[in-house]
Structure 1
C-alpha cells in the first residue's frame, strides 16, 4: 500500500494501534455496551462449524481484543436449558472480578452447581421456573452471597392448557431454607412468586405475588415487616395474608415511598391497611376487586390516622371511564398520595360518592373534579336509572357540605 493510500485510510491506522479500553467506556464508537454485550452473547450461543465463518471475536484483532479485554461486556449471564457449562465458565473468566447479573430460566441442579462457585460475585439473581421445575435445585446455592443486592424467584404455577389445573402451591417444594447459607447481608430487593419469604432483612424493596400458600398469615406478614423497617417500596399482588384470631399487630414504615396493592377484595385490604403506618409523603396505589354493595371506604379500616398520607390531601379527582372507577388524590405538592382503581359497576360509584368522606379529609380540599362520563366499556350495561343516579349532583351534597367554601378554589362536575 502506498503512502497516499495509507493517508487516505486513517481508520486502518486506528485499527492497527487499537488498545482495549479498561475504564468502562464504549469500545466501539456510538455502540452502547448493552448492545455489544448482546451481540457477543448471541454469537457465543451459536454453534461453530468447520465450514462456516468463525465467531465474531476471531474475525479480526480488534474484535478479539474487545471480547477478551472488556469485562463489562460479560457481566450479564443468561442461563437456560441450552446454555453449556463451558459458556458460563467463559463469562465468569472474561468478566474478571466485576459483579455479575444472572438470569436463569428453568434452571436445574447442574445449572446452580455451576453458578455456586461465583456466589461471591452475584449482584443480582433472577430465577424463572415453569410448573414442572424442581425447586430443590436452589439448594445448590449454599455459599454466602456477600454482594447480592437483588433476588427474584418466580414460579409459573399455571399452564397454557386450560384443562390443566394449577398445582397446589402448598404441595410444591419450598425454597430451601439454606439458600446462600442465610448470608446475604446486602440483599435489598426481593421478589417472590408465590413463596412465603424465608430470608431478607433490612430490605428496601419487596414484591410479593400470589402468596396463597397455607402458611402465609397476618403473623408472618407482621414478622416480615418488622424485620424490614427501612422498606421504601412494597408491592403486593394477590398476596393477602390469611386472618388469625386475636390479632393486634402493628408496624410503622417511616421510609415507605410507594405501597401498591392489587387483586385484593375490600375485606382483605382493610385487614392489611389497619396494621401498617405510612408517612405523609407515601404513595398508596390500590386496585381492588369490587364486591356487591361496597364502596371505596369499605377497603379502608375505620381508623385511618396511621395512613398519614390521607390527611394531607387537597386535590381530589373522581372519574368513571372505560369501565373503570378511579380516585386520584393529591396533596399540595402535586405528588399523588392515593390512586384507587376498581373495575366496578355504577352502584359502586354511587356508594363511593356517599362514603368517600370517611377516608378523605374533604374539609381541606382546594380542588374537586368529578367526571361521570359513562361509555359502553362497562362490563355490564348500566340501566338508565343507574345512569341518572350517577349523574345526580345531590349525591355529592354530603361531600360539599364538609368543604369550606373559602378554601375550595376550583370545582368541576
Structure 2
C-alpha cells in the first residue's frame, strides 16, 4: 500500500508538472521572458522596488530568469533606506550592464559621522564600476562629505551621460572651496546632462562642455559666477537645450553697478548662439546677471521661460521683445514674485502668438488692464492661450476676468467639439450609426487652410485662481461652467488654516 501511495503521488506530481508546462507563459524561451520583464519594469516611470522580488516569487524558473537579466539590477541606490548589502548584490547581478547610481542622503545633520562613513563605503563599493556608470547622482548634507565621495571619482567614465551633485548645506564649508579635480579623470565623452548645486568645480570647462542640459544653483558670496564665466561655459555647449540658474546671490552692489554699465555701453564678448535652446529658468539669480546673460544669448527656438524672484524684469522683457521681432516660438511663460512694466509686458505678449500657458504668481503689477488686453480682438493677444495661472494676483477684478473668459468662448458651439471627452457626452441616441458618426467627428482633424485664420482664439482649458481673495465661491462656480479645469485654493493662515474671502 505504501508503494502504491508513493507511486500515486509521483504520478500526480508528473501530471501537475505536465499541466503547468502547457501554460504559454512557462513555455516562453528565457530570452523572451527576460525581455517581457524588462519592458514591464523599465517602462514604469517611478521605480517600484517590490516588482523584481515579486517576479522572483512566482516560480523557480522566473527567479532564475530575473537573476540572469542584468538590466533589472542596474539601478544602484544607497540611502538611509537602501543598505550597502543590497547595493552589493545588485552590483554583482548587473554584471557588465551600464549602471544608474544614486547616493542620496537628506539635509539632516543628526548623524554626520555615520553618514560620512556610509558615503565613503558606498563610493568604495561603486568605484570599480565607474567605467560602466551611465548616470551618477550624489546628494549629501555638506561639502566635506561631497569631497570625500568625489575624491573616489578619479577614474574614466566613458559611458556617463547624466551627472547630478547636490549639497544641501554649503554656507559653513568655505575651507572646502578647492574642487577635487579632475572628476572622472576629465574623461566624460558622453556627458549630456549636468546639474550642480553648491558644488565648486572651479568652473572647469572640461566638466561642462558639449552639454544638452545644464543646471546650476546654490552659489553664494565669493562663489557666485560672473556673466563672463557663464557665457564662456554656454559657449562650450552649442547644442544646449535646457539651462537653469537657481539661487545665485548677487550681493556685491558695486560690481553689479559696474556690470550693468558694461552691459549698457561696451557690450560683453560676441553673442552666444544657442539654436537648440528650448527651456530657460532663472530663479533668484539676480536681475543684473539675468539681464546680461539674456542680452548675450541668441535663442530663436526658445519654448519655455521662467523668471522667478528677480525684482524688476522689465529689461528682460525688452530683450524678449527684441528676439520676438525675428523669431520666438515661446509656448510657456512663468513670472513669479517679480515687478514689470505692464504696458511693455502687453507689447511682448502681442508678439507671442504661440503662447499656450501663462503663469503669473504673486505678481502685483498684473492689473485688470492685462485681462482687458486679452479680451480685445484688435488683434487677439495670444490666440492659442489655453492655460492661465493668476495665483496670488489680487489686483485683478472679477469683471475683467469674466469678460476675458467670455471673449474666449466660441461663437459656434460645434467649433469646439474636441473638448468633449467621449462621444457619449455629445450624443443621446442609441443608434450605432449615430454613435459612430459622433466618434468620427470627435476624432476628425481640422484641415489646415485659410478658413482657420478667422476661427478666433482658443478656448481656455485651465485656469488657476489660487489665493485670489477677490474671487468668491459663486464666481468659481461660474468659471467651472465655461472652463474645463478650475483650480482654486484659498489663502492659508500662519497655521495652515484656510482664510476665506
Q: Same fold (TM over 0.5)?
A: yes
Following the alignment from structure 2 to structure 1, what is the Cα–Cα distance between the partners of residues 158 and 21?
45
Structure 1's unaligned 5+ residue stretches are 44-55, 158-165, 357-361, 394-406
Q: Which moved more, 1:310-319 or 1:75-84?
A: 310-319
Deviations along 1:213-232, whole A, 9 cap, x unmatched? 52311121111111111101
1:21 maps to which of 11, 28, 31: 31
> Any conservation in 1 of the 2:218–2:247 contact (CA below 8 Å)?
yes
> Any conservation in 2 of the 1:368–1:410 contact (CA below 8 Å)?
no
Aligned equivalent of 2:296: 275
Aligned runs of 1:281-300 on 2, under 5 Å?
281-289=301-309, 291=311, 294=312, 297-300=314-317
SS at match of 1:103: strand
Aligned equivalent of 1:79: 78
Aligned equivalent of 1:151: 163
Aligned equivalent of 2:274: 253
SS at match of 1:145: coil
Shift, 1:366, TM fit: 4.4
Q: For the aligned residues, what is the CA RMSD? A: 5.0
Following the alignment from structure 1 to structure 2, what is the Cα–Cα distance between the partners of residues 298 and 111?
48
Deviations along 1:261-319, whole A, 9 cap, x unmatched? 2334544432331121111x21141233374xx5x5343356853x3587557999999
1:134 maps to which of 136, 145, 150: 145
> Any conservation in 1 of the 2:303–2:332 contact (CA below 8 Å)?
no
Sort the Cα spacing of 1:253 and 1:311 in 2 relative to 1 into closer, same or farther, 3 A: closer
Aligned equivalent of 2:103: 104
Deviations along 1:221-267, whole A, 9 cap, x unmatched? 11111111110111222246784644613312111122222334544
Does 1 or 2 have the higher relative contact order (CA < 8 Å, sep 6+)? 1
Aligned equivalent of 2:428: none
Deviations along 1:31-79, whole A, 9 cap, x unmatched? 5357797237779xxxxxxxxxxxx958952243034211111111111
1:220 maps to which of 207, 225, 229: 229
Following the alignment from structure 2 to structure 1, what is the Cα–Cα distance between the partners of residues 330 and 158?
46
SS at match of 2:231: helix
> Any conservation in 2 of the 1:283–1:309 contact (CA below 8 Å)?
no
> Any conservation in 1 of the 2:305–2:334 contact (CA below 8 Å)?
no
Deviations along 1:354-406, whole A, 9 cap, x unmatched? xx9xxxxx999544579xx999x747x66xxx969989x9xxxxxxxxxxxxx
Aligned equivalent of 1:202: 210
> Any conservation in 2 of the 1:124–1:148 contact (CA below 8 Å)?
yes
Query: How does the TM-score come out when normalised to structure 1?
Result: 0.66
Sort the Cα spacing of 1:275 and 1:352 in 2 relative to 1 into closer, same or farther, 3 A: farther
Following the alignment from structure 1 to structure 2, what is the Cα–Cα distance between the partners of residues 33 and 59?
19
> Any conservation in 1 of the 2:231–2:272 contact (CA below 8 Å)?
yes
> Any conservation in 2 of the 1:76–1:100 contact (CA below 8 Å)?
yes
Following the alignment from structure 2 to structure 1, what is the Cα–Cα distance between the partners of residues 248 and 234?
14
Sort the Cα spacing of 1:24 and 1:133 in 2 relative to 1 into closer, same or farther, 3 A: farther
Aligned runs of 1:141-180 on 2, under 5 Å?
141-157=153-169, 167-168=171-172, 170-173=174-177, 175-180=179-184
**When the two structures are aligned, how many residues end up with a matched partner?**
353
1:189 maps to which of 193, 196, 202: 193
Structure 2's unaligned 5+ residue stretches are 1-8, 106-117, 337-341, 404-452, 460-501
